[in-house]
Structure 1
Amino acid sequence: MIQRPNAVDGCFIRHEQELSDFRPTFGMVLHAQGRAPELSRVQEQIASRIERMPTLACTVARRERRTVWQADPAFDPYDHVHEVRTPDGPTALEEAVQALLGAPLDEQSPRWGVWLIHGYCDSEYVLFYRAHHAAQDGQAMVDALRALFGTEPPASPARAAVAVPDAGRFWWQRIPVQAVAWILTDAMKSLRPSLRSSMQRPLSGETRVVSAAVPESWLRNTGRALGASSNDVCLAALAEAVRSRMPESRLAPRQRGRELYAYLPISVRRPEERFTVGNRLAAVRIPLSFWEESATTRVAAISRATRPVKTEGMRRALRAQMSLPEWLVYRIFRRAAAKAAGCLITSGLVHLPELLAMGDDPIETVVPAAFPYKDLFEMAFVAYKGQVAASVAFDRAEEEVGSLVALWADAVERLHDDVGFDESESTRAIV
């Protein structure tokens, strides 16, 4: 279950230690219908299901210059389930989630938690699952939600540790030529001027998260019609949304040589690593073909840009990069963080393939939430029960960014209409 530590885990911890305003936490807001249960019921369900994902009882920390994973001998699942009672009112839930996003997680125990949030409405309550990025990547969070709240039989139990390929070779001998070529090519591209997605205003230090949802079939059918993935359609609609809210000065002809990029996480998890601790992902910069006048042409261009990233050869190259010594991976990590100043940051489209529930109460909607990085905003997407929810996290100083998800939903709808589908789907809704 506990393999060789992944260098990315230590990078998140170290970066947080060096930057006081960096909070690599993210989560999912699970909306359930009905009256809120007693906290003890939530604690009992979660405690009874920890064995479905034993890595939830493991903790990660940096010891001197090493990142260390170990089973927590004092682990008590009850300590990871909390309660937040809010006043009645439409903004109380939003304020509670935003306050929790920036709150630190205990460094001495497994870095995740569940918060039962209620009081804002008599007929609904929320379970907010939140984790530190040093402890979990997107796939691990999906597995955690399915373990704790899934309604289907659990997946295969955690597997025993497996041998690390090429573990007996020096790290410089494990890097394929493709990885070196990709790193150098990306470094050269990063030297080109690019567009900034933010306005570079003084930050307030307060976070907002705003969400919207569209039918999943809109993305799926549009992608099929254009030979692209649903995630490609998400990115194209995001580029259109950013373009529609940019001031004219940022769209002047002299800017046309500057591209807008998105950082897209790519899973490099092998099948035998399904239930292992920590991160198994890398991030790549994707050009969003910002200046394309046609939205359908933009989808095709983004699809061409993402297609090589999805190949097994590229995954091998990214795995090799992530298996370098942690000090070197951290240099790459810091360089990527510096380049992110001109980029959007996205989660990729995460799928929750089964229904979730708290006891007998079904989870009706799931909304992603992440803490924003500096003056950037982060878009996250999750598919659940036939809907794709998108959320944007941003500093309150960038208040106009809150309109981005509604603009994104409009762009998805227009794309769907442009490719000629006519379905009697429920219309998009702010959630």
Structure 2
Amino acid sequence: MKGRSPELSQVQEQIASRIERMPTLACTVARRGRRTLWEAAPAFDPYDHVHEVRTSEGPTALDEAVDALLGTPLDDMAPRWGVWLIHGYSDSEYVLFYRAHHAAQDGQAMMDALRALFSTEPPASSARAALAVATARRFWKQRIPVRAIAWTLADAVKSLRASLSWSTRHDLSGEARVVSAAVPEAWLRATGRALGASSNDVCLAALAEAVRGWLPTGSIAPGQRGRELYVHLPISTRAPEERFTVGNRLSAVRIPLSFWEESPTARVAAIARAIRPVTTEGMRRVLRAQTGLPEWLVYQIFRRVAAKTEGTLATSGLMRLPGRLAMGEDPIETVVPTTFLDKDLFEMAFLAYKGQVVVSVTFDRAAEEVGNLAALWADAVERLHEDVGLDMSTPATVQAP
């Protein structure tokens, strides 16, 4: 953010004044007998969730601060989110770093939280009412779970297919780094329209192309040639009345990325064909119906989803952050998503905000010398745009976190 850093108290006061716009920020996990549930945290104080990081001056200080925060644990006994004011690395710029536990907030909830805390628009009057309407009822329990069982079994069979995997020269270090890049959102929209695909389809096709150029020479064993590379695509299972409920409301489906396809435009078309059947409302009902199955089976389903089988990439899908955000009078010009790196070589997140789509790559430092995957993704988007003969008047940018 451009401007002189505010005092920590100013950030705390803005956060505290906005909590009522999203009451689930005050919820925490509790045990009641054998049940685990969300409830209002006793003695909740929003000031406890706003922190300060003072850095030294210099171009690498911000990167080092963000990388360190990626591994900072969140308090198990409190609502699992926080805001960090990072400053000191520049006299005319500062960063607000927002983190939340994925069990408490999925992508949609995180976008809602950012808008609640920093939006320049009036609060949505429906937020509190929607929260009151949403209860612990299982809205989909009345669905016949036969389709859910069939989908689960079919997906389990598909997951047995050998996936493309690769090796690096080093074992994982457990230390994370973040790099990011941005392209005009208009590029993705225009490319998608020209190819009969969505912006998200174009994001994933560019991801496959970027990984092809990023993988170190010799990292794919000869016997792996021809194996498909899959991505776990998050699918929201929120019913409309659950919009402002606390907790994660996501499932995921495996999507082939046509990794070996030489034509980037043909890859976009193939990904679009693979995604369309699994992003319908009917499929969302099937995924919601999975939670109406016996508890032990639900547990196994979500274990499988969370396991991220070897060679399957994890991404956020393309999230959108509408409107404008600000800290006090300072407009927030850029929002860079970050992800938690859980024993993976890298994970990616895509976010559209203010006419730009930012890709963020969180990767293990073992891959630090391989290359900038975010920049390769931006290059792949640009080449796709060129391939369909569209206007290239707005350049892509590579940026710091």
Coarse TM-score class (shorter-chain normalised):
over 0.9
Of the candidates 250, 267, 271, which is equivalent to residue 240 of structure 2?
A: 271
TM-score normalised according to structure 2 size: 0.93
Q: 1:62 to 1:397 in 2, by over 3 A?
A: farther
What's the offset of the Cα at 1:34? Answer: 0.4
Residue type of the partner of 1:194?
S
State the AA in 2 paired with 1:284: V
2:127 corresponds to: 157
* Alpha-carbon distance, 1:98 to partner: 1.2
- Cα drift, residue 397 of structure 1: 1.1
Q: Residues 374 and 161 of structure 1: is their aligned pair in 2 closer, same or farther, counting only changes over 3 Å?
A: same
Structure 1 portions without partners, runs of 5+ = 1-31
The equivalent of 2:300 in structure 1 is: 331
What letter is aligned with 1:429? Answer: V
In 2 relative to 1, CA 204–239 (structure 1 residues): closer, same or farther, beyond 3 Å? same
Cα distance in 2 for partners of 1:65, 1:379 equals 36
1:361 correspondence with 2:330: yes
**CA deviation vs aligned residue, 1:279-319 (integer Å, no higher than 9, x gap):** 11111111001111100000000000110111111000111
- In the alignment, the residues of structure 1 paired with residue 299 and residue 386 of structure 2 have an alpha-carbon distance, to the nearest angstrom, of 44
CA distance in structure 2 between the partners assigned to 1:166 and 1:230 by the alignment: 32
The answer (yes or no) to whether the contact 1:282–1:322 under 8 Å persists in 2 is no
The yes-or-no answer on 1:348 pairing with 2:317 is: yes
Mapped to 2, the partners of 1:359 and 1:339 lie a distance apart of 40
SS class of match (1:153): coil
Q: Name the CA distance, whole Å, in 1 between partners of 2:170 and 2:33.
A: 37
Residue of structure 1 equivalent to 2:285: 316
Deviations 1:257-278, CA, capped at 9 Å, x for gaps: 4100001111111111111111
Q: Is the 8 A contact 1:52 1:154 kept in 2?
A: yes
Find the aligned partners of 1:197 and 1:252 in 2 and give their Cα distance.
7
Residue of structure 1 in register with 2:171 after alignment: 202
Q: Provide the residue aligned with 1:139 in structure 2.
A: 108
Structure 1 residues 315 and 296: alpha-carbon distance in aligned structure 2, compared to 1, 3 A threshold: same
Structure 1 position 323, deviation (Å) = 4.1
What displacement does 1:195 show? 0.4
Change over 3 Å in CA distance of 1:207–1:64 after alignment to 2? farther
Q: Deviations over 1:8-56 (max 9, x none)?
A: xxxxxxxxxxxxxxxxxxxxxxxx1101000100000110110100111
Structure 1 359/197 Cα, relative in aligned 2: closer, same or farther at 3 Å? Answer: farther
Give 3-state SS (helix, strand or coil) of 1:205's partner. coil
CA distance change for structure 1 residues 163 and 70 in 2, over 3 Å: closer, same or farther? Answer: closer
Distance 1:327 1:42 in 2: 44
Alignment map for 1:43-58 (pairs within 5 Å): 43-58=12-27
Deviations 1:118-154 (A, max 9, x none): 0011110000010001110000000000000000111
Which amino acid is the alignment partner of residue 122 of structure 1?
D
Give 1:162 deviation, angstroms: 3.9
Residues 198 and 375 in structure 1, CA contact (< 8 A), matched pair in contact too: no
Structure 1 residues 417 and 50, CA gap change in structure 2 (3 angstroms) = same
In structure 2, distance between residues paired with 1:175 and 1:131: 34
Q: 1:393 aligns with which of 344, 362, 368?
A: 362
CA distance in 1, matches of 2:269, 2:153: 26
Within 5 Å, which residues of 2 pair with 1:56-135?
56-61=25-30, 65-135=34-104
| More deviation, 151-160/349-358 | 151-160
Is the 2:308–2:314 contact (alpha carbons within 8 Å) kept by the matching residues of 1? no
Q: Percentage identity across aligned positions?
A: 75
Against the structure 1 CA distance between its residues 391 and 85, is the aligned structure 2 distance closer, same or farther, given a 3 Å change threshold?
A: same
CA contact (8 A) 2:51 2:83 kept: yes
1:153-177 per-residue CA deviation (whole Å, 9 max, x = no partner) reads 111222223466767x9x7x85533
Aligned residues: 397
Q: How far apart in 2 are the matches of 1:325 and 1:61?
A: 22
Distance in 2 separating the partners of 1:366 and 1:60? 28
Task: Please state how far the C-alpha of 1:193 moved relative to its aligned partner.
Answer: 1.1
Deviations 1:324-375 (A, max 9, x none): 4554333223233444321110001111101000000000100011121203
Q: SS of the residue aligned with 1:340?
A: coil
Pairing 1:400-411 to 2, within 5 Å after superposition = 400=369, 402-411=371-380
**Relative to 1, partners in 2 of residues 1:62 and 1:243: Cα closer, same or farther, differing over 3 Å?**
farther
Q: Deviations over 1:56-115 (max 9, x none)?
A: 111124567532110012100000000000000111111111111111111111000000
- Whether the 8 Å contact between 1:197 and 1:343 is mirrored in structure 2 is no
Secondary structure at 2:94 match in 1: strand
Q: Which has the higher contact order (CA 8 A, sep 6+)?
A: 1
* Whole-angstrom CA distance in 1 between matches of 2:122 and 2:346: 37
- For structure 2, which runs of at least 5 residues remain unmatched after alignment? none
How far apart are 1:394 and its partner, in Å?
Answer: 1.4
